[in-house]
Amino acid sequence: MAMITAATTFAQQLQDVVYLTNGSVIRGTLIEQVPKVKIRTSDGSLWVFDNNEIDKITSEPAVQNNNNNVQIQQYSDPVNEWTARQSKPKSNYTDLSTGFRIFADLSIMSQTSYYTCSAISYSGTFGHQFNPKLYIGAGIAAQVYFDYWYYTNRADDAPELYAQMPLFAEARYDVLATKCSPFVSLRAGYALGIDEYNDYSGLYLNPSVGIRYKSLNFSVGLDLVKLKDPWYFDELLINLEHRYTTVNWQSSVMFKIAYEWGGRR
């Protein structure tokens, strides 16, 4: 009888403990595990979580009157069911998680292959955040090039304009899972040339590095197009000699600002 009493007393001293993936810990009595995890704390509050928000569930010795063991904000209304998103500690910045993620960005570019040509570009990407650091998606860009040599030296002619529309896949890696992090990105695909006289289409590559602060990020990179039909321009040297320069890779330095949605809890 003494052994039964001791076992009963020991069992009564145990309580269920739910550890969340965001670092919070809830102690109480486990009510349900399927389809969602429900646990009632000692103050009568009922907490509800999706299974993907749970790190582990254990039974541990009961802790009485110790607020440090419930690392979440307590609510006085015991009948409301609060999700992990509502109970997440406000002092913690839960950064990139998993799920759908969208980027919209604006860029200015200066060509290095043909130094009198600059461009403005707008692009959008959408894809999936596979973990707090890795994103893979796809997108489309529209970039318009302006040759200011024509504008300043050919007053009798219209400014030289042409456009490209890159279609690409993108991989992005955030170095840190915090609200401020450096990142690297690579876009690869095909650029469709849009010009009345020339075909500026070809293989498209865009490596870049940058820094992200919450949903805003800044980056610098190279915009490269392997032209399907190489072109040349007449370059006047200092000694007034002419030289024809062939361009196989159209290259530009790109400065970009972007905003993102999604991929967060």
pLDDT at 36: 86
Q: How far apart, in whole angstroms, are the C-alpha atoms of residue 226 and residue 114? A: 14
Average pLDDT over the chain, rounded to whole?
78
Outline where the chain has alpha helix (H).
2-12, 84-87, 148-153
Structure confidence at residue 91 (pLDDT):
36
Express each pLDDT in 159-180 by its tens digit: 577 899 999 999 999 998 788 9
* Percentage, residues of the chain above pLDDT 70: 72
Q: What is the model's pLDDT at position 151? A: 56
Check if the beta carbon of residue 27 is closer than 8 Å to that of residue 47. Answer: no
How many whole angstroms separate alpha carbon 191 and alpha carbon 194?
Answer: 9
pLDDT confidence of 140, banded at 50, 70, 90? Answer: very high
- ∠188-190-194 over CA atoms, to 5°? 140
Task: Give the model confidence (pLDDT) of 111-135 as tens digits.
Answer: 888 777 889 999 999 999 888 889 9
pLDDT at 47 over 90: no
**Residue range 21-33: mean pLDDT, rounded:** 86
- Who wins on pLDDT, 20 or 148? 20
Whether 198 has a pLDDT exceeding 50, the answer reads yes
* pLDDT computed for residue 93 by the predictor: 35
Query: Cis (ω within 30 of 0) for the bond into 132?
Result: no
Cα gap 212→259, rounded to integer Å: 9
What structural domains does the chain harbor? 2-87 (2.30.30.100), 96-264 (2.40.160.20)
Sequence-distant (6+) residues with CB within 8 A of 113 are: 247, 249, 250, 251, 252
Structure confidence at residue 236 (pLDDT): 62
